Amino acid sequence: MKIYGDSISGNCLKVKWTADFLGIPYDWVETDVVRAETRTPEFLALNPAGQVPAVVLDDGRPLAQSNAIMLHLAEGSRLIPEDAYDRARMFEWLFWEQYSHEPYVAVARFQVKYLGRPAAELEPKIVDRGRAALQRLEDALAEKPFLVGEAPTLADVALVAYTRVADEGGFDLAAYPALQAWIDRVERALGIAAAEAA
């Protein structure tokens, strides 16, 4: 399998961490978003949405969307709950992540860290909704170790990706103690080195 990804992107790291955790071999093809390497004709033939991550499976077929790739790689593994309701809750978190978390928490970080925009000049909607997303996670994790059940699932993989670096977008993680403890727990469970470029 080839993973086309940008190492600064949490969406891409999700796929890498899932493959690493499950022992699935891959070649990583570094694809620079800022330099528009996702907009070349070759890349658009692979993923018409022009986004990383995208993978080419061993049989040559392409697949895109970070959470769809993770689901495919993790099928039948312990990262997807066997119980139907727990699995449904995992899906709920995966879709919430892409709709209500990533567009604020990840976008703030991208604008601040990679486009050089001062955090104080972020669009208020991005800041407000990013904080709301972090608070929702804080509330959800106040009394349980992982988002669904007693062990990490793809919901934790997806949501830790940008939450662990939210401070780079101007969010103060010190305000969310349960979230900080969960980040440590997920990083340890997945074997994500704290020093990993993210």
Total residues at interface with a second copy (CB under 8 A): 32
Stretch in the footprint of a second copy (CB under 8 A) among 2-10, 19-27, 98-106, 188-196: 98-106
What is the spatial distance between Cα 108 and Cα 88, in angstroms, rounded to a whole number? 29
Residue nearer to a second copy on the CB measure, 3 or 63 = 63
Question: Of 27, 42, 75, 150, which one interacts with a second copy (CB under 8 A)?
Answer: 75
Q: According to the binding rule CB under 8 A, does residue 103 interact with a second copy?
A: yes
Indicate whether 65 belongs to the interface with a second copy (CB under 8 A). yes
Residue (35 or 85) nearer to a second copy, CB: 85
State which of positions 118-177 bind a second copy (CB under 8 A): 136, 139-140
* 77 interacts with a second copy by CB under 8 A: no
d(CA 152, CA 24): 18
Task: Return residues touching a second copy (CB under 8 A).
Answer: 48-49, 57, 61, 63-69, 71-72, 75, 84-85, 87-89, 91-92, 94-96, 98-100, 102-103, 136, 139-140
